[in-house]
Amino acid sequence: MTAADTTTKTQRAPFGQQIRDRWNGLPRQQQWLISIVFIVFLIFLPILNPAGITTEPGTDFPISLFNASRYALIAIGLNVVVGQAGLLDLGYVGFFAIGAYVTALFTSKDSSLHHLPYLACVPIGMAITMFFGLILGIPTLRLRGDYLAIVTLGFGEIVRLMADNVPALKGQVGFQNVGHPPGTRDNGLPIFLQSDGKPWYWLTIGVIIVVLILVGNLERSRVGRAWVAIRDDEDAAEIMGVPTFKFKLWAFVMGAAIGGLSGVIYAGQVGFVNNQKFDPVTSILFLAAVVLGGSGNKVGVILGAFLISYIPDRFTSIAEYKYLIFGCALVVLMIFRPQGLLGARQRLLTYGRQAYQRIAGRPEQLDTGAGALSGDSRSGAMGGGDL
Amino acid sequence: MLLHSASTVLADNGWVSWDVTSLRKLFWYDTVTGLAYGSIYALIALGYTLVYGVLRLINFAHSEVFITGAFAGYFTLKACGFTPGVVPGVGAGEIVAYLVLATGVAMVASALTALVLERVAYQPLRKRGAPSLAFLITAIGASLAIQQAYFIWRGGNPEPSIQLVVKQPEIKIGNTTMDNIQITVIVAAIVLMLVIDTFIRHSRLGRGIRAVAQDATTATLMGVNRERVIMLTFLIGGAAAGLGASLYIMMIPSALVYNGGFILGIKAFTAAVLGGIGNLRGALLGGLLLGLVENYGQTLFGGQWRDVVAFVVLILVLMIRPTGILGESLARARA
Distance from CA of B141 to the nearest CA of A (A): 4
Band of residue B3 on the pLDDT scale cut at 50, 70, 90 = very low
Is the dihedral angle over the CA atoms A272, A278, A279, A284 positive or is it negative?
Answer: positive
Residues A277, A282, A287: CA angle, nearest 5 degrees: 150
The count of C-alpha atoms lying within 13 angstroms of the C-alpha of B1, restricted to the half-sphere facing its C-beta, is 0
- Which residues in chain B are contacts of A155 at CB distance < 8 A? 311
Q: What is the pLDDT of residue B162?
A: 84
- Please judge whether B141 and A164 are an interchain contact, meaning their C-beta atoms are less than 8 angstroms apart: no
- Which residues in chain B are contacts of A380 at CB distance < 8 A? 128-132
Q: Is the pLDDT of residue A6 over 60?
A: no
User: Residue A372: which of B133, B262, B307 has the nearest Cβ?
Assistant: B133
- Which residues in chain B are contacts of A320 at CB distance < 8 A? 152
- Which residues in chain B are contacts of A281 at CB distance < 8 A? 144
> Alpha-carbon distance B105 to B161, whole Å?
18
Distance from CA of A161 to the nearest CA of B (A): 8
What interhelical angle do B280-301 and B27-55 show, nearest 10? 140
- Residue B161 DSSP symbol: P
Peptide bond into A57 cis (omega under 30): yes
What interhelical angle do B180-202 and B204-214 show, nearest 10? 80
> Alpha-carbon distance A212 to B318, whole Å?
34
> Alpha-carbon distance B215 to B220, whole Å?
9
Q: Enter the pTM of the model.
A: 0.84
What ipTM is given for this predicted complex?
A: 0.84
The count of C-alpha atoms lying within 13 angstroms of the C-alpha of A2, restricted to the half-sphere facing its C-beta, is 3
- Please judge whether A161 and B141 are an interchain contact, meaning their C-beta atoms are less than 8 angstroms apart: no
Cβ atoms of A46 and A198 closer than 8 Å: yes
Q: Is the pLDDT of residue A104 over 60?
A: yes
**DSSP H or E segment with residue B179:** strand B176-179
- Please judge whether B141 and A331 are an interchain contact, meaning their C-beta atoms are less than 8 angstroms apart: yes
Q: What is the pLDDT of residue B63?
A: 93
For residue range B249-300, list pLDDT tens digits in order: 988 888 888 888 888 998 999 899 888 888 888 899 999 999 999 999 989 8
Q: Which of B137, B143, B224 to mutate to test the interface with A (most CBs of A within 10 A)?
A: B137
> Alpha-carbon distance B135 to A174, whole Å?
38
Distance from CA of A240 to the nearest CA of B (A): 21
- Which residues in chain A are contacts of B309 at CB distance < 8 A? none
Closest CA to A296 of A238, A242, A341, A247: A341
- Which residues in chain B are contacts of A340 at CB distance < 8 A? none
Using DSSP, state whether A122 is helix, strand or coil: helix
User: Residue B311: which of A154, A164, A384 has the nearest Cβ?
Assistant: A154
Alpha helices in chain B (DSSP H): 2-13, 20-25, 27-55, 62-79, 92-117, 123-128, 132-154, 180-202, 204-214, 216-221, 226-251, 260-275, 280-301, 306-320
Q: What is the pLDDT of residue B183?
A: 92
For residue range B93-135, list pLDDT tens digits in order: 888 888 999 999 999 999 999 999 999 999 999 888 888 888 8
Q: What is the pLDDT of residue A2?
A: 44
For residue range B188-197, list pLDDT tens digits in order: 999 999 999 9
Distance from CA of A189 to the nearest CA of B (A): 40
Cβ atoms of A291 and A344 closer than 8 Å: no
Band of residue B8 on the pLDDT scale cut at 50, 70, 90 = very low
Band of residue B5 on the pLDDT scale cut at 50, 70, 90 = very low
Distance from CA of A379 to the nearest CA of B (A): 7
User: Residue A149: which of B120, B136, B147 has the nearest Cβ?
Assistant: B136
- Please judge whether A143 and B58 are an interchain contact, meaning their C-beta atoms are less than 8 angstroms apart: no
> Alpha-carbon distance A118 to A115, whole Å?
9
Flag the least confident range among A197-211, A219-233, B190-204: A219-233
Burial class (CB in 10 A: 0-12, 13-18, 19+), A265: buried
For residue range A280-314, list pLDDT tens digits in order: 888 888 988 888 888 888 888 999 999 888 888 88
Q: Which of A89, A146, A308, A328 to mutate to test the interface with B (most CBs of B within 10 A)?
A: A146
User: Residue A331: which of B142, B307, B322 has the nearest Cβ?
Assistant: B142
- CA-nearest residue to A88 within chain B is B133
**DSSP H or E segment with residue B178:** strand B176-179
Q: Is the pLDDT of residue A71 over 90?
A: yes
Q: What is the pLDDT of residue A134?
A: 92
Q: What is the pLDDT of residue B13?
A: 54
How confident is the model over A323-328, as a mean pLDDT? Answer: 89
- Which residues in chain B are contacts of A86 at CB distance < 8 A? 133
Flag the least confident range among A206-210, A228-232, A341-345: A341-345
How confident is the model over A83-94, as a mean pLDDT? Answer: 88
- Please judge whether B144 and A320 are an interchain contact, meaning their C-beta atoms are less than 8 angstroms apart: no
Using DSSP, state whether B132 is helix, strand or coil: helix
For residue range A178-188, list pLDDT tens digits in order: 888 888 888 87
- CA-nearest residue to A144 within chain B is B322
Cβ atoms of B275 and B285 closer than 8 Å: yes
Q: What is the pLDDT of residue B253?
A: 85
Distance from CA of A159 to the nearest CA of B (A): 9
- Please judge whether A387 and B212 are an interchain contact, meaning their C-beta atoms are less than 8 angstroms apart: yes
- Please judge whether A335 and B151 are an interchain contact, meaning their C-beta atoms are less than 8 angstroms apart: no
Question: What is the overall mean pLDDT for chain A?
Answer: 81
Q: What is the pLDDT of residue B185?
A: 93
How confident is the model over A215-232, as a mean pLDDT? Answer: 88
Q: Is the pLDDT of residue A348 over 70?
A: no
Amino acid identity of B308? V
- Please judge whether A320 and B152 are an interchain contact, meaning their C-beta atoms are less than 8 angstroms apart: yes
- Please judge whether B149 and A280 are an interchain contact, meaning their C-beta atoms are less than 8 angstroms apart: no
- Which residues in chain A are contacts of B304 at CB distance < 8 A? 161, 164-165
Q: Which of A157, A276, A331, A386 to mutate to test the interface with B (most CBs of B within 10 A)?
A: A331
Q: Is the pLDDT of residue A387 over 50?
A: no
Instruction: Give the list of residues 6+ apart from residue A22 with CB closer than 8 angstroms, or none.
Output: none
| Distance set, CA A124 to CA A102, A212, A270 (Å) | 8, 21, 19
- Which residues in chain B are contacts of A308 at CB distance < 8 A? none
- CA-nearest residue to B53 within chain A is A387
For residue range B38-83, list pLDDT tens digits in order: 999 999 999 999 998 888 888 989 999 999 999 999 999 988 888 8
Band of residue A362 on the pLDDT scale cut at 50, 70, 90 = low
Amino acid identity of B280? L
- Which residues in chain A are contacts of B269 at CB distance < 8 A? 150
User: Residue A335: which of B15, B125, B131 has the nearest Cβ?
Assistant: B125
Instruction: Give the list of residues 6+ apart from residue B180 with CB closer than 8 angstroms, or none.
Output: B165, B167, B168, B170
Instruction: Give the list of residues 6+ apart from residue A34 with CB closer than 8 angstroms, or none.
Output: A26
- Which residues in chain B are contacts of A323 at CB distance < 8 A? 144-145, 147-148, 151
> Alpha-carbon distance A351 to A330, whole Å?
34
Q: What is the pLDDT of residue A57?
A: 78
- Please judge whether B266 and A157 are an interchain contact, meaning their C-beta atoms are less than 8 angstroms apart: yes
Cβ atoms of A112 and A177 closer than 8 Å: no
Residue A278 backbone phi and psi in degrees, to 5: -120, 40
Q: What is the pLDDT of residue B306?
A: 86
Distance from CA of B199 to the nearest CA of A (A): 22
Q: How many CB atoms lie within 10 A of CB B22?
A: 15
- Please judge whether A150 and B57 are an interchain contact, meaning their C-beta atoms are less than 8 angstroms apart: no
Band of residue A18 on the pLDDT scale cut at 50, 70, 90 = confident
How confident is the model over B233-257, as a mean pLDDT? Answer: 92
For residue range A137-180, list pLDDT tens digits in order: 888 888 766 788 888 888 888 888 888 888 888 888 888 888 88
Distance from CA of B160 to the nearest CA of A (A): 24
Q: Is the pLDDT of residue A376 over 60?
A: no
- Which residues in chain A are contacts of B263 at CB distance < 8 A? 157
- Which residues in chain A are contacts of B132 at CB distance < 8 A? 145-146, 380-382
Question: Quick one: how far is CA B173 from the chain centroid?
Answer: 25
Instruction: Give percent of chain B above pLDDT 70.
Output: 93
- Which residues in chain A are contacts of B120 at CB distance < 8 A? 331
How confident is the model over B201-216, as a mean pLDDT? Answer: 90
Q: What is the pLDDT of residue A373?
A: 56
Alpha helices in A49-117 (DSSP H): 61-79, 92-107
- CA-nearest residue to B155 within chain A is A320
**DSSP H or E segment with residue A135:** helix A118-140
